[in-house]
Structures are given as structure tokens and as C-alpha cells.
């Protein structure tokens, strides 16, 4: 039996990058998946390429809007009869030093990452507690552990996701709901591949495994945390970094 047979999952930001790889991995393991993405057109293109038929549903979703997230949760339950896994993956970057970062750039990143993760966690958990089962997987970052120049907004948001994950895990454990986080390092994705070559090479030099990670390697950890293999795992932050910043 596949690891996620008969399970239903939502992946925010699932139209590309790490989110899309998680969707692909979950489908391969028997899940039915709702791609909840701000860019619904990109989500529909991804669904066509996945060619998974009724096992994929696409909804437009701004994770900063609780109404949109609630609609995605409702759509999953009405379409598939349950919500077993919530992956809060949607994210953006607005990198700038503190001297040049605008208040709007700070707020945008905090809203998408931290508020979006909170919306997804709390609204999915409301369904899962009634089922007495479920798994929430939040995407943090190694940036939330060590902080990077030009990312006071992003590092703050990703560190906040760690605290949110641990607090939610304590609240939900007795309801049978597990809440964990993943902290990726340098992963090949549309968001990282636009970095200038010198910055890319400097980050690569910090990695003991001497290579960039692939989105599929993050997706494999998401699969573990979402599945019964992690039945006694909650409140953890799993680093997928090739050993960077151990």
C-alpha cells in the first residue's frame, strides 16, 4: 500500500517549485491533492501536466486571506470527504537590507509566510481535530535559524514559523493532529535560480555535501512527515540543507 493511500492533502503554493514537487510526490503515494495557489492559471497548467485526473483539484488562494484558505479547506472536504494533510508552502521574497527595505516589503513577506502559515494551520486543524487525525507540514527555512543579510523580513517570518509550529503541535497533540516543519537550505527552484552567480557560489561553498538540494528531496521529507511513518513525530523542525549551518 502507498504511504498516502485514501488521504486528501492541500498544498499551498503548489503550482511550482518545492510545492509542485510535493504535489507530485503525494500523488505518487496515493493521495488526492488540492493545489491552492495565488496563480490559479499556473495551478491549472501544473494539473494538466500531472495528468492525475480527479485526484487533483485547483483553487485560487491568497494565503493571507483567511476566507480564501477556508474555501480551500472546504473544497478539499467537499471534494474528497476529508482533509488529512495540510502543507503550508506558499512564499515570496522581497530581499533588501534594512536601510533600503520598505515597510511594505517587510509586511508582504511576514503576511504571506507567517500569517499564511497561521491561517493554514489553524483552519486545517479545525477540521483535523474533529477527525481525530491529521498532519500539518509547515515550510520554514535555514534562514529562520541563522539569519541572512538582506532578509530581515524573510528570516523573521521563517523563525516565526518554527515557533508557530511548536506551539500548534502542543495545542493539537491530544487531538491526534501532528504539526511539524521543514527548514530547507539551498534548493534548486525558480525562486533561488534567479540569484546572482556570486551569491549562489558563496552559498554552495557553505554546504558540506558540496551540492545544491533538489525540490524532490524536500518533498520526500514532507512525505515522511505527512505519513504514518512519522506517527510519533510532532513539533520538530527537519533541516534539509546538505549539512549547511549544522
**Catalytic site residues?**
154
Q: Which three-class secondary structure state does DSSP give residue 10?
A: strand
Element (H, E) at 88: strand 85-88
Helix or strand or coil: residue 135?
strand
Among 56, 32, 60, smallest CA distance to 46 is for 56
CA distance 141 to 165: 13
Residues 55 and 100 sit within 8 Å (Cβ to Cβ): no
Alpha carbon distance 192, 170 (integer Å): 33
Q: What are the grid coordinates assigned to 241, written together?
A: 540543507
Amino acid at each position: 500500500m502507498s504511504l498516502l493511500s485514501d488521504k486528501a492533502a492541500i498544498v499551498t503554493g503548489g503550482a511550482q517549485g518545492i510545492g509542485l514537487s510535493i504535489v507530485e510526490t503525494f500523488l505518487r503515494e496515493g493521495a488526492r491533492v488540492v493545489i491552492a495557489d495565488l496563480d490559479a492559471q499556473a495551478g491549472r497548467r501544473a494539473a494538466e501536466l500531472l495528468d492525475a485526473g480527479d485526484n487533483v483539484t485547483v483553487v485560487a488562494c491568497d494565503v493571507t486571506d483567511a476566507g480564501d484558505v477556508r474555501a480551500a479547506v472546504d473544497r478539499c472536504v467537499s471534494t474528497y470527504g476529508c482533509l488529512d494533510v495540510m502543507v503550508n508552502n506558499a512564499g515570496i521574497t522581497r530581499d533588501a537590507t534594512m536601510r533600503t527595505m520598505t515597510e511594505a516589503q517587510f509586511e508582504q513577506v511576514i503576511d504571506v509566510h507567517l500569517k499564511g502559515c497561521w491561517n493554514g494551520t489553524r483552519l486545517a486543524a479545525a477540521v483535523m481535530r474533529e477527525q481525530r487525525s491529521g498532519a500539518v507540514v509547515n515550510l520554514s527555512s535555514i534562514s529562520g535559524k541563522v539569519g541572512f543579510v538582506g532578509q530581515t523580513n524573510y528570516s523573521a517570518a521563517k523563525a516565526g514559523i518554527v515557533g508557530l509550529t511548536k506551539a500548534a503541535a502542543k495545542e493539537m497533540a491530544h487531538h491526534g493532529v501532528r504539526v511539524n516543519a521543514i527548514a530547507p537550505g539551498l534548493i534548486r527552484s525558480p525562486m533561488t535560480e534567479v540569484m546572482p552567480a556570486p551569491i549562489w557560489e558563496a552559498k554552495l561553498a557553505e554546504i558540506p555535501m558540496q551540492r545544491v538540494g533538489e525540490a524532490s528531496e524536500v518533498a520526500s521529507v514532507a512525505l515522511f512527515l505527512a505519513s504514518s511513518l512519522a506517527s510519533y513525530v510532532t513539533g520538530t523542525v527537519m533541516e534539509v540543507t546538505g549539512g549547511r549551518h549544522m
